[in-house]
Amino acid sequence: MKWSKRHKKTFGKKTRETDATQGSFRYPPKPDSYYTKIEGQCRWCGKMIMNEDGTINSRRNWHEDCSEEYMFYYHSGATRQKVYERDLGKCNYCGDITTRWELDHINPLSEQKNVPRDKMDWSYWSMENLQTLCYKCHKKKSGKEISEKFKLKREDKKKVNWKKIKGLFE
């Protein structure tokens, strides 16, 4: 995994409060170790990075595997690459193969909105919840999700029938 200069610069400088990805339901919560100021501590798993002779490698802040995992969750390019390797651009609904495929969360991420950080469900960002859709199918699915959301809201309102409730006590 190649790191851009931008990544190296963030070591020890970011806090959860200044991290724009945090507090957004589009990203899973980062571990506390991501914001570490300790040289040689992995920002993903939080363990110290060791040299072969058993000493701490204080020049590094990522295990190789950990950095790949991190990229998968927080960089859409890396996420798309992994999904492409699996699906090869084939729409999971209609089977069309396009170069303009779109990445879809089967269970929409908006369901994680307003969920407290320690209760957020990581499965929403996992490969199992990701699918390839062509532009048309994605548009259809998103439209359906929105209309279902409105339908739910309407049903919520219907549940409270004040006239009926009043009638019970008359």
For the chain, where are the alpha helices, taking DSSP H only?
5-9, 64-74, 76-87, 135-159, 162-168
| Pairwise CA distance, residues 137 & 143, whole Å | 10
**How near is the Cβ of 111 to Zn ion at its closest, in Å?**
23
Q: Which is nearer to Zn ion, 60 or 112 (CB)?
A: 60
Using CB under 5 A, list all residues that contact Zn ion: 42, 44-45, 63, 66, 91, 93-94, 96, 134, 137
- Pick 91 or 112: Cβ nearer Zn ion: 91
CB 126, min distance to Zn ion, A: 19
Smallest gap, in angstroms, from Cβ of residue 44 to Zn ion?
5
**Least distance to Zn ion from the beta carbon of 28, Å?**
16
Dihedral sign, Cα of residue 27, residue 78, residue 91, residue 123: negative
Nearer to Zn ion, 88 or 94 (CB): 94
Residue 65, both tokens: 């595997």
Q: Which two structure tokens, joined as six digits, stand for 20?
A: 């724009």
CA distances to 13, 135, 158 from 146, rounded to whole Å, are 39, 17, 19
Least separation in angstroms between residue 41's CB and Zn ion is 9
Q: Is the Cβ of residue 28 or residue 112 nearer to Zn ion in the bound state?
A: 28
**C-alpha 63: how far from chain center:** 21
Please calculate the CA angle 33-31-77 and round it to the nearest 5 degrees. Answer: 110
Q: Which is nearer to Zn ion, 31 or 82 (CB)?
A: 31
CA dist 16 and 75 (Å) reads 17
